[in-house]
């Protein structure tokens, strides 16, 4: 039997195997790991190039009359900090940070018990019910969800109507910090619960029972057993939720009625309304640096925890 | 520690440390504990023995307050603890998984109950050292839990449950996962601790040998009910039910009819074979009963013996296994559904041979059906 009698399909497969054998030559084997990380590397490099470009733009002055780039200067950063415009930008920045931290803190307080309940409830029905309740609003799309809250929080919306039944008029909280806060919380709590759940699931329930027999009240079981053991999951949740909240755009725009803009809203305005790439780049970089520092904070805290509570000098 | 700890002497020593009355706990339609009444005496080493799923662990957890009971009462030292949460019950408990805190050192694990009681620093250091001495593990306080061997972890868990001098120590099958040698070592350790420390111990196990070695009294459980509470030997020699007889050791249960025969009592099997038994006031003439004969009480003979003290039954050897300390036989008897089991010294009967099984009439224990 001649090789050419072999069915065409098998000849193709044999050819691919031959090709593969050639590609698997010594040298190629050595560089294969690098080939595999190449796409990720290229993506990250592109992002880095973008950030460098932002930095390059941010250190130039901008002539708003001629609408063209000026010489290298710290003008954009001065405008972010110094009066007369600086006050507005810094207020926006601090509003963003304070609100994000507050929302993150409250969503941790609410999300952790929710995760614990989902993991530990003996009833399958309750577990599925709570999971669905957490997930459905979380998955239904940002704009739909935000406008749903709009309907609830508006002056003549559901909240105002219910408050009206108790004789409180003008109950809408659209355009107030409370309104934005509630909207952001509703996204953050499910996220915290989902991120913390795997960490809670890894904790042996007998540890809690043992702690109880040893004299620990429920609050102290949380303090000494659950939170320390779930710590990695908690740190991850803090990082993710904090980042999402710092970059929040549509909650302040829609539920805040634009009266309480966050940094992201202002950067958008600078780019689209003022058409000032240079100032926008500077503000973007400031936000990037501050949020990076805030991400590192929980890791520093973990480090300190290990140094003071776990590692012990022998 | 026995000389330093303050021993609380109960004025009425007869008052039970733990008293369960009418305790019921059900999961869905299944009763995990079904109307359990139990009294544990001071300084007793009590074992709850039963197959898995018999509710013995649930009883322990009800005492510890880790499961809420549906009805009934649990009294600890005379106090109804229905509304006392676990952390205020002041009991020590060792879990099967040990439940040592993985994020703490050995010292911090043992110091945990002391810290929960807001005990001062100096006393914590002293008490942890004392309790590590008691379980004979000095010099490991700074180690991490995962660096210890299985046996060391057992001892640390014991030290942690004893460091605050609880009057009651609950053991939830802590030796179940150990290999045989380590298990025996830990059982002896428990006996030693019980002798040295003023503590009442309730142990849960499915291992009948462990139960008989350790316990002052054993409560046998089945299907959520306590079947019989007695010392190990009484349970073994005088079981109240067929279940208890079969659960402890190797018992042969021969179903038959009790015949009084004017002072010469016999049990007659359905196949007509009869053997004499000692008189029993529980069973009256013509009643269905089960005769229980221990495997080690039966002798094997070639033919029926003339010894008047011996009674017996004819059988055929089905299986012979050499076990070391004894030779194990399974024998077929006409009219019996199950083969009889005999632990004999002799190995001279080969499978297929006809033999005569002989035992003393007073070694037969009768149970009403």
CA–CA gap between residue B217 and residue B214 (Å, rounded): 9
* Predicted local confidence at residue A294, as pLDDT: 84
The residue range of the domain holding A47 is: 3-58
**Nearest residue in chain A measured CA to CA from B117:** A215
This complex has an ipTM of 0.81
The alpha helices in A270-310, defined as continuous H runs, are: 277-305
* Contact check, Cβ <8 Å, A206/B97: yes
The HSE-up count of residue A144 (CA atoms within 13 Å, CB side) is 6
Q: Are residues A250 and A105 in the same domain?
A: yes
**What does the pLDDT read at residue A274?**
83
Domain check: are A93 and A42 in the same one? no
Q: Is B121 helix (H, G, I), strand (E, B) or coil?
A: helix
Q: Let me know if residue A213 belongs to a domain.
A: yes
Give the per-residue pLDDT at A171.
64
Query: How far apart are alpha carbons A58 and A280 in whole angstroms?
Result: 8
B28 shares contact with chain A (CB less than 8 Å):
no
Contact between chains at B160 and A214 (C-beta distance less than 8 A): yes
pLDDT, position B111: 93
Domain ranges for chain B: 18-91+166-237, 250-368
| Residue A83 · residue A283 · CB < 8 Å | no
Domain identity same for A7 and A135 = no
What's the DSSP call for residue B349? Answer: P
- Write phi, then psi, for A114 (nearest 5 degrees): -65, -45
Q: Which of A124, A213, A223 to mutate to test the interface with B (most CBs of B within 10 A)?
A: A213
Kindly state the helix (H) or strand (E) to which residue A74 belongs, with its residue range: none
Interface probe with A: pick from B88, B101, B156, most Cβ of A within 10 Å: B101
Cβ neighbors of B183 (< 8 A, separation 6 or more) are B175, B210
Low-confidence ranges of chain B (pLDDT < 70): 1-14, 279-282
Asked whether residue A274 is domain-assigned, the answer is: yes
Distances (CA, A) of B109 to A139, A207, B81, B141, B153: 43, 11, 27, 9, 11
A213 and B161 within 8 Å at the Cβ level: the answer is: yes
Q: What is the pLDDT of residue B237?
A: 87
CA distance B317 to B340: 10
Half-sphere exposure of A117 (CA within 13 A, CB side): 15
Whether A73 maps to a domain, the answer reads no
Of A290, A292, A296, the closest CA to residue A89 belongs to A290
DSSP class of residue B363? G
Number of neighbours of residue A189 by Cβ within 10 angstroms: 24
Give the CA angle between residues B348, B352, B353 to the nearest 5°. 50
Residues A117 and A204 in one domain: yes
For residue A229, give how far its alpha carbon lies from the nearest alpha carbon of chain B (Å).
Answer: 7
* Cα A98 to Cα B175: distance, rounded to the nearest angstrom: 54
> How near does any CA of chain B get to the CA of A219, in Å?
11
| Topology of the domain covering B250-368 | OB fold (Dihydrolipoamide Acetyltransferase, E2P) (2.40.50)
**Residue the block writes with tokens 């428990």:** B190
The total number of structural domains in chain A stands at 2
Pairwise CA distance, residues B87 & B64, whole Å: 9
Q: What are phi and psi of B321, to 5 degrees?
A: -130, 135
Strands (E), chain B: 18-27, 30-40, 45-49, 71-76, 79-80, 92-94, 168-172, 200-205, 217-222, 225-230, 251-259, 266-268, 274-276, 288-294, 299-301, 310-322, 327-332, 340-344, 354-360, 365-368
In whole angstroms, how large is the CA radius of gyration of chain A? Answer: 27
pLDDT at B53: 85
Contacts of B86 in chain A (CB under 8 A): 209, 212-213
Angle at B110 between CA A298 and CA B48, to 5 degrees: 120
Range B18-91+166-237 classified under CATH 3.40.50.300:
yes
Contacts of A209 in chain B (CB under 8 A): 64, 66, 86, 93, 95, 99
Does residue A125 share a domain with residue A16?
Answer: no
The conformation of residue B9, written as its DSSP 8-state character, comes to: -
Indicate the pairing of strand B71-76 with strand B18-27.
Answer: antiparallel
Does one domain contain both A138 and A13?
A: no
CATH of the domain at A171: 1.10.3720.10
Which two tokens mark B363?
């070694």
Instruction: For residues A47 and A104, state if they share a domain.
Output: no
Nearest by CB to B116, which of A216, A218, A314?
A216
Shortest CA gap A228–chain B (Å)? 8
- Which residue ranges in chain A fall short of pLDDT 70? 24-29, 169-171, 309-314
Question: Is the Cβ of B91 closer than 8 Å to some Cβ of chain A?
Answer: yes
Choose the closest CB to B116 out of A220, A228, A310: A220
Residues A141 and A288 in one domain: yes
Q: Tokens 């559904």 correspond to what residue?
A: B337
Give the residue from A40, A58, A76 where a domain finishes.
A58
Which pLDDT does position A27 carry in this prediction?
Answer: 64
Residues B235/B218, Cβ–Cβ less than 8 Å: yes
CA distances B61 to A156, A218, B56, B92, B148, Å, are 54, 17, 9, 12, 27
A264 with A188, same domain? yes
**Mutation for testing the B interface, residue in A123, A211, A215, A313 having most B CBs under 10 Å:** A215
Burial state string for A22-60 with b = 16 or more CB within 10 A and e = fewer than 16: eeeeeeeeeeeeeeeeeeeeeeeeeeeeeeeebeebbbb
Tokens for B357?
């099984």
Q: Is the pTM higher than 0.95? A: no
Our CA-based measurement puts residue B66 at a distance from the nearest CA of chain A, in whole angstroms, of: 7
* Sheet with B18-27, edge to edge strand ranges: B30-40, B18-27, B71-76, B79-80
Report the half-sphere exposure of B321 (CA within 13 A, side-chain side): 8
Q: What is the pLDDT of residue A84?
A: 82
Question: Is A215–B93 a contact, with Cβ atoms under 8 angstroms apart?
Answer: no
> Does residue A164 lie within any of the structural domains?
yes
Residue B200 and residue B42 in contact, taking contact as beta carbons nearer than 8 Å = yes
pLDDT score at A311: 64
Strands B354-360 and B299-301: antiparallel
> Are the C-beta atoms of residues A59 and A71 closer than 8 Å to each other?
no
- Extract the tokens encoding A82: 């110094």
In this structure, the answer to whether residues A27 and A96 fall within a common structural domain is no
Inside any domain, residue A65: no
| Of residues A210, A228, A312, nearest to B105 (C-beta) | A312
Interface test with A, best of B28, B66, B81, B86 (most A CBs within 10 A): B86
């Amino acid at each position: 039997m001649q090789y050419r009698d072999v069915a065409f399909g098998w000849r193709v497969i044999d050819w691919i195997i031959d090709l593969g054998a050639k590609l698997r030559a010594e040298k190629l084997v050595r560089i294969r790991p690098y080939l595999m990380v190449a796409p990720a590397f290229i993506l990250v490099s592109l992002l880095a190039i973008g950030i460098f470009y932002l930095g390059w733009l941010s250190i130039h002055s901008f002539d708003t009359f001629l609408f063209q780039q000026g010489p290298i200067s710290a003008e954009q950063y001065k405008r972010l900090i110094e009066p007369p415009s600086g006050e507005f930008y810094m207020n926006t920045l601090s509003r963003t940070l304070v609100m994000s931290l507050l929302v993150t803190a409250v969503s941790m307080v609410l999300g952790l018990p929710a995760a614990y309940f989902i993991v530990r409830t003996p009833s399958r029905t309750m577990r599925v019910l709570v999971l669905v309740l957490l997930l459905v609003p979380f998955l239904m799309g940002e704009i739909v969800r935000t406008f749903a809250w709009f309907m609830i929080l508006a002056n003549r919306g559901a909240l105002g109507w219910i408050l009206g039944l108790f004789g409180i008029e003008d109950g809408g909280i659209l355009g107030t910090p409370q309104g934005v806060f509630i909207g952001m919380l509703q996204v953050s709590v499910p996220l915290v619960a989902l991120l913390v759940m795997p960490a809670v699931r890894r904790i042996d329930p007998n540890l809690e029972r043992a702690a109880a027999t040893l004299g620990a009240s429920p609050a102290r079981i949380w303090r000494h057993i659950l939170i320390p053991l779930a710590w990695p999951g908690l740190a991850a949740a803090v990082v993710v939720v904090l980042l999402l909240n710092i970059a929040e755009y549509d909650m302040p725009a829609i539920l805040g009625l634009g009266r309480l803009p966050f940094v992201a809203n202002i950067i958008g305005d600078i780019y689209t309304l003022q058409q000032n790439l240079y100032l926008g780049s500077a503000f973007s970089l400031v936000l990037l640096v501050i949020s990076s520092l805030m991400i590192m904070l929980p890791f520093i805290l973990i480090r300190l925890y290990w140094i003071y509570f776990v590692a012990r000098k022998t | 520690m026995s000389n330093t700890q303050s021993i609380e002497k109960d004025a009425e020593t007869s008052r039970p440390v733990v008293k369960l009355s009418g305790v019921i706990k059900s999961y869905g339609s299944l009763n995990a504990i079904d109307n359990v009444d139990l009294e544990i005496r001071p300084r007793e080493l009590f074992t709850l023995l039963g197959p898995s799923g018999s509710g013995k662990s649930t009883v322990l957890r009800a005492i510890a307050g880790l499961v809420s009971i549906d009805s009934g009462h649990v009294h600890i030292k005379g106090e109804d603890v229905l509304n006392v949460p676990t952390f205020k019950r002041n009991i020590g408990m060792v879990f099967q998984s040990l439940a040592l805190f993985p994020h703490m050192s050995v010292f911090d694990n043992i110091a945990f109950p002391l810290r929960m009681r807001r005990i001062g620093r100096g006393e914590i250091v002293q008490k942890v050292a004392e309790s590590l001495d008691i379980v004979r593990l000095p010099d490991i306080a700074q180690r991490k839990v995962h660096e210890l061997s299985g046996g060391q972890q057992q001892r640390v868990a014991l030290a942690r449950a004893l460091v605050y001098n609880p009057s009651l120590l609950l053991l939830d099958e802590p030796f179940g996962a150990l290999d045989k040698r380590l298990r025996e070592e830990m059982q002896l350790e428990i006996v030693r601790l019980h002798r040295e420390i003023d503590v009442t111990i309730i142990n849960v196990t499915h291992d009948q040998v462990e139960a008989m070695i350790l316990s002052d009294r054993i409560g046998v459980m089945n299907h959520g009910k306590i079947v019989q509470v007695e010392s190990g030997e009484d349970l073994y020699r005088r079981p109240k039910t067929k279940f208890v007889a079969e659960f402890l050791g190797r018992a042969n249960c021969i179903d038959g009819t009790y015949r009084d025969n004017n002072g010469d009592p016999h049990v007659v099997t359905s196949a007509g074979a009869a053997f004499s038994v000692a008189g029993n006031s529980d069973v009256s003439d013509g009643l269905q009963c089960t005769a229980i004969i221990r495997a080690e009480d039966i002798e094997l003979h070639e033919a029926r013996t003339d010894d008047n003290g011996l009674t017996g039954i004819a059988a055929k050897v089905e299986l012979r296994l050499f076990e070391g300390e004894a030779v194990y036989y399974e024998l077929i008897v006409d009219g019996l559904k199950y083969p009889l089991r005999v632990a004999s010294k002799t190995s001279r009967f080969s499978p297929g041979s006809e033999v005569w099984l002989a035992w003393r009439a007073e070694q037969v224990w009768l149970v009403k059906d």
